[in-house]
Structure 1
Amino acid sequence: MSQLEKVQAEYEKFPQEFASIIISTVNAQGIPNASYTPFVMDEFKNIYIYVSGLSSHTTNIQVNPYVSVLFIEDEAKSPNIFARRRLNFDCTATLVERETEKWQQIVKEFQERFGEIIEVLRGLADFRIFQLTPTKGRYVIGFGAAYNINGDNLHQLVQVTKDNLSNS
């Protein structure tokens, strides 16, 4: 197995290590907000979040659908704090309409993953499900070991070199 194949396999498993993601949104005035939320991910790498309409990030998504998502290795597990493994995606958010077949399926996945709290959230009218569709990303596994991810094929890594650095 080549080095790229090893990295590729690690990349495919990396998001499964997490129950929540860090998300960055921007409000109507252009002010950024960082937060976190539990998530589920489908086989196409679409990320689904189930969030309160009262939260800043939900309000921000409704005025600006561009969201940055970050999966980052636990500090305690990283051999070097300056080179934590991380995966980020630039995404576009779309609302999943409540009570549709897709909404029911995503709620079921949240219930399987997070348990009975989802029954409580399901009864709260202000909670919404957004689909975050990645348009591009980057997977970093250490110093000088970064890989670009293109939205056309979210399953293919392209090693960052000085020649393609601007594609990030």
Structure 2
Amino acid sequence: MSQIEKAQAEYEKFPEQFASIVISTVSKEGIPNASYAPFVMDELKNIYIYVSGLSTHTKNIYDHPQLSVLFIEDETKTNQIFARRRLSFDCTATLITRKTEQWEQIVQQFQDKFGEIIEVLKPLNDFRIFKLTPKEGRFVIGFGAAYHINGNQLNQLTQITG
């Protein structure tokens, strides 16, 4: 198996080890905000987050629907702190309308993944589901092993060199 094939296989499985992602948003005043959110992902690599309308990152998403997400290896599991494995995507957020068939399907995926807490959140009207559609990304698996992600369904890795 070639280096790119190994990277591709690792990339396909990488998000499965996470229950939450780091999200980076910007306010209408241009102030950045780093936060996190539990997520579910579909087969096209769309990411869904279920977040409170009272949170800073949700307000920022309404003002600027472009955001960045980050999956990053746990510090305790890394071999080299300067080269933690990580996957980032530049995304555009779209609100999923509450009580639609799509909303119900996504809520069910959250319930399957996270359990009873979703029954508590479901009736809370301030909670929103956003679909984060990745445009492109970057997958880093070590020194000299960074890959640009693009292509149909974000499945094409291209090694970044020099």
Q: Same fold (TM over 0.5)?
A: yes
1:51 partner letter: V
CA shift digits 1:10-52 (9 cap, x unpaired): 0000000100000000000000000001000000000000000
Q: What 5-or-longer segments of structure 2 have no aligned partner?
A: none
| Counterpart contact for 2:96–2:103, Cα < 8 Å | yes
Structure 1 residue 118: deviation in Å?
0.3
1:73 aligns with 2:73: yes
C-alpha RMSD of matched pairs (Å): 0.8
Structure 1 residue 152: deviation in Å?
3.8
**Where do 4+ consecutive residues of structure 1 move more than 4 Å?**
none
Partner of 1:60: 60
SS in 2 for 1:161: coil
SS in 1 for 2:155: strand
Partner of 1:165: none
TM superposition score normalised by structure 2: 0.98
| Counterpart contact for 1:134–1:151, Cα < 8 Å | no
Q: What 5-or-longer segments of structure 1 have no aligned partner?
A: 163-168
2:49 partner letter: I
Partner of 2:89: 89
Partner of 1:105: 105
Q: Given the superposition, is the C-alpha separation of residues 100 and 151 from structure 1 closer, same or farther in structure 2, using an over 3 Å criterion?
A: farther
| Counterpart contact for 1:135–1:151, Cα < 8 Å | no
Task: Number of aligned residue pairs: give it.
Answer: 162
| Counterpart contact for 2:45–2:153, Cα < 8 Å | no
CA shift digits 1:44-73 (9 cap, x unpaired): 000000000000000000000011000000
TM superposition score normalised by structure 1: 0.94
1:93 partner letter: A
Partner of 2:5: 5
Q: Output aligned runs, 1:36-47, within 5 Å.
A: 36-47=36-47
